[in-house]
Amino acid sequence: MENFTINNIFKNPSQLPKKGCESFETLFDNEKVKIEKILSNELIDGQWYEQNDDEWVILLQGNASLEFEDYTKELACGNYVFIPKQTKHRVLKTSKNAIWLAVHIN
């Protein structure tokens, strides 16, 4: 039997991103799926994305606003959203130490 490592999504890295920044940690990656843990610390006006992959994202801790070209969605802890590929979007703002889980599907 193979040995498996058990980790905790809520365990923060030794250095959290400074205020207004984000950090990304790849948890799993293959040719079809990439899973990331994202930490956002009071981010405001994040960069715009228009990705080549579909993305499913859940907010595990904190609050956030996602902005799309024509509207904004408010997310609370536990809310998730599916973002089809080529959909222009960005994180408009987050609370302190927000934690996301993002699944990118090729």
Which tens digit of pLDDT belongs to each residue from 9-29? Answer: 988 666 689 999 999 999 999
Domains of the chain: 21-105 (2.60.120.10)
For CA atoms 80, 100, 60, 32, the dihedral sign is positive
Which tens digit of pLDDT belongs to each residue from 52-67? Answer: 999 999 999 999 999 9
8 A C-beta contact, residue 100 and residue 40: yes
Record the pTM: 0.89
8 A C-beta contact, residue 102 and residue 66: no
